[in-house]
Structure 1
Amino acid sequence: MNLKQLAQELGLSQTTVSRALNGYPEVAEATRLRVVEAARRLHYRPNTRARSLATGRTMAIGHVIPLSTKHEMLNPIFADFVAGAGETYHRAGYDMILSIVSDGDEERAYRELASTRMVDGVIVHAPKTDEPRIPLLAEIGLPFVVHGRSSKATAPYSWLDVNNRRSFQRAAGFLADLGHRRIALVNGIETMDFAARRREGFLRGLADSGLAPDPALMTSDEMTEGYGYRAARRMLALPDPPTAFVVASIITAFGVRRAVEGAGLRLGRDVSIITHDDDLSYLRNGEDIPIFTALRSSVREAGRRAAEILLETIDNPGHAPITELLEAEFLIGESTGPAPGPTPALVAQKQMADR
């Protein structure tokens, strides 16, 4: 079925149907819903080639992915983000192009996408605190949206981010309110902007509670299960171990939990954990009751919204940059509880030290 046939089926003009399918605001909501439902029911898909000829666009969006062993987003979180973005592209009749490049070829890849007009825009993933892709894309004139932010960027640009600083400030404060005084941070790579903001928030949360940070209880690395296990096992072996952890990823949190249980400790009783949860489609934080107390923010929904912002940017090239800051939802799970009291062994050790 083509656009003309769909319009005839609905008794509407082709212009109205096209505008309804592309989300133009002047189309009444009832009309838009009617058109979208008919398109779904009749299996209508826009003719991408015809639309490209009519608009001068490629009707494709690019994602450039570097093959780095330390790249934070080359993990299942990226797959959920792309799935969400793909839903938006599909509704708007856009294709998605994934370009896998070596780390040193990123700039060349972006310049090639722009010069050959292979895509109408790109989404930038995993920005660093000083992100070189932002001025590069502004220079070559390729529309873009950043998933995250770059603290040192000076020129305005479009972005969608979670309030990472606020989230980790809340996490540290919550644990301090439960009586924990030895609180550890198991963070992502801190050259990445999201991880730098999380560290800032964690430190602010400690300071708000009158607690001094201990460098021995703060670590950063690629967010894997193995990293969480190794970091927690090392910290739990300290003479004065942490009684609580703030963790940057639910994947890493599973490693922290493995270390806690491997040390013969009980989660939520002897040791508490709060983690960031990207609400992944295939890796749920429990069912009715969350396994982990968590700061939840759907990465799939972020993909949908970032794609919408990019398409708005492409449709309105002279419009001011669009920025959106999302707040994470705080969920109480089974992994947190009051700080444990001193064990008889620790009490005896302290009494011996005081003599």
Structure 2
Amino acid sequence: MNLKQLSDMLGLSPTTVSRALNGYPEVNARTRARVIEAARHHGYVPNSMAKRLATGRAMAIGHVVPLSDHDMINPIFADFIAGAGRAYSEAGYNMILSVVPAEEEEASYRALSAAHSVDGIIVHGPKRNDYRIPLLNELGIRFMVHGRCDSTHPHAWLDMNNRAAFLRATEYLIGLGHRRIALLNGIETLFFAIRRRAGYEDALRAAGIAPDPALVFNSDMTEPYGYRTARALLAGPNPPTAFLSSSLITALGISRAIADAGLRLGADVSVITHDDALLFLPNQGERPMFTSTKSSIRDAGYRMGQLLIDIIEGRADPHVTELWEAELVIGSSTGPAPSG
């Protein structure tokens, strides 16, 4: 189906249909919704070249990935991209993914801006004093940050409430009688990990338990990291009775170490993990393997894609923010602290 056929079927002019699909504000909301629904139902996809000419936009969203940042090149990032890509496709946008050496990251943003290659950018893994936020404001590119940071420069962001999630998870373990709870965190130069540690420590202090630095670790969230760290702790003279993990992948390593030590997951040692609801690694069922703080990274990617396109097309505040709460899902990996 082409634009004229869709227009004839709806009894509207091709100009009105085109403007409705491109988000022009002069088309009323009811007409726009009717046109979008008809286009979706009949499989109409606007010609991207025509759309670029009509709107003056590049019809593309950019992601810049520095090679040294291992946390970006991983399955969690891939699931985020899958969600964002769906939003781009639905709106007729393409994705430009630039994988560059870390020292060329700033130059890559400047090149995308100079070439007008993208209409917006999603920034990943915000850090302390993140230079990318003032840089993108200076370049005049619409952007959103996946996560929150300490920047005083105005920007749009979407984040999961990491502090609240790990505070609640730690409180749950304390309620089961656990006092020695180990935290296997992500890299603590990243704000999600900083907030998760804060929630963990706040819960301990509120219960009158002094946080023990010997029980807190941070690294790339891999299975070997979980295995090696948990194995060493469980072999020590005063092992933890519970673990809090920043990733389901890391939690699998912890569970392997528990089994190798001849202990039972959920009976001798408890584990709570954050679960990004990765499609290739489901933690599901009536009684999931792991108790978890759950928030879909793919859904976050999809929502951010929608919001950034709304910003680009003038339907959303350029500094819009959303904070998501994680769900605590009880699984088989937690139980009362062993007596004695």
TM-score by length of 1: 0.91
Counterpart CA distance in 1 for 2:91 and 2:310 is 11
Residue of structure 2 in register with 1:348 after alignment: none
Contact 1:85 1:304 in 2 (8 A): yes
Q: Deviations over 1:254-286 (max 9, x none)?
A: 001111111011011000001100001111003
The correspondence of residues 200-279 of structure 1 with structure 2, limited to 5 A, is: 200-279=198-277
RMSD across aligned C-alpha pairs, in angstroms? 1.8
**Deviation of the 1:210 alpha carbon:** 1.1
Residue of structure 2 in register with 1:346 after alignment: none
Q: Deviations over 1:182-236 (max 9, x none)?
A: 0000000000110011111110011111111111111000000110111111111
Contact 2:307 2:316 in 1 (8 A): no
Moved more, 187-196 or 49-58: 49-58
Residue of structure 2 in register with 1:10 after alignment: 10
Counterpart CA distance in 2 for 1:20 and 1:289 is 46
Counterpart CA distance in 2 for 1:177 and 1:291 is 20
Matched, 1:136 2:149: no
Matched, 1:281 2:279: yes
Identical amino acids, percent of aligned pairs: 59
Secondary structure of residue in 1 paired with 2:306: helix
Secondary structure of residue in 2 paired with 1:185: strand
Residue of structure 2 in register with 1:42 after alignment: 42
Contact 1:228 1:256 in 2 (8 A): yes
The correspondence of residues 1-355 of structure 1 with structure 2, limited to 5 A, is: 1-22=1-22, 27-28=28-29, 34-68=34-68, 70-150=69-149, 152-316=150-314, 319-342=317-340
Aligned pairs, number = 339
Counterpart CA distance in 1 for 2:36 and 2:52 is 21
Counterpart CA distance in 2 for 1:27 and 1:278 is 37
Moved more, 287-296 or 323-332: 287-296
Q: Deviations over 1:297-331 (max 9, x none)?
A: 00011001111121122123994500110000110
**Deviation of the 1:238 alpha carbon:** 1.6
Q: Which of these two proteins has the greater Rg computed from alpha carbons?
A: 1
Contact 1:3 1:14 in 2 (8 A): yes
Q: Deviations over 1:87-113 (max 9, x none)?
A: 111111101111110111000000000
Contact 1:187 1:195 in 2 (8 A): yes
Q: Which amino acid aligns with 1:255?
A: G
**Deviation of the 1:130 alpha carbon:** 2.5
Contact 1:216 1:235 in 2 (8 A): no
Counterpart CA distance in 2 for 1:249 and 1:3 is 46
Q: Which amino acid aligns with 1:35?
A: V
Gaps of 5+ in 2: none
Change (3 A) 1:88 1:320: closer
Q: Which amino acid aligns with 2:155?
A: Y
Counterpart CA distance in 1 for 2:23 and 2:327 is 29
Counterpart CA distance in 1 for 2:14 and 2:205 is 61
Q: Deviations over 1:17-59 (max 9, x none)?
A: 3354356686455x55653443234331111111111111110
Contact 1:58 1:120 in 2 (8 A): yes
Change (3 A) 1:28 1:316: closer
Change (3 A) 1:41 1:154: closer
Counterpart CA distance in 2 for 1:157 and 1:28 is 27
Q: Which amino acid aligns with 1:47?
A: N
Secondary structure of residue in 2 paired with 1:161: strand
Contact 2:234 2:240 in 1 (8 A): yes
Secondary structure of residue in 2 paired with 1:155: coil
Contact 2:142 2:318 in 1 (8 A): no
Change (3 A) 1:20 1:56: closer
Q: Which amino acid aligns with 1:72?
A: D
Secondary structure of residue in 1 paired with 2:335: coil
TM-score by length of 2: 0.95
Change (3 A) 1:317 1:111: farther
Q: Deviations over 1:115-166 (max 9, x none)?
A: 010111110011113311111111111111001111x211121000000011
Counterpart CA distance in 1 for 2:38 and 2:55 is 24
**Deviation of the 1:240 alpha carbon:** 0.7
Ranges of 4+ aligned residues in structure 1 off by more than 6 Å:
none
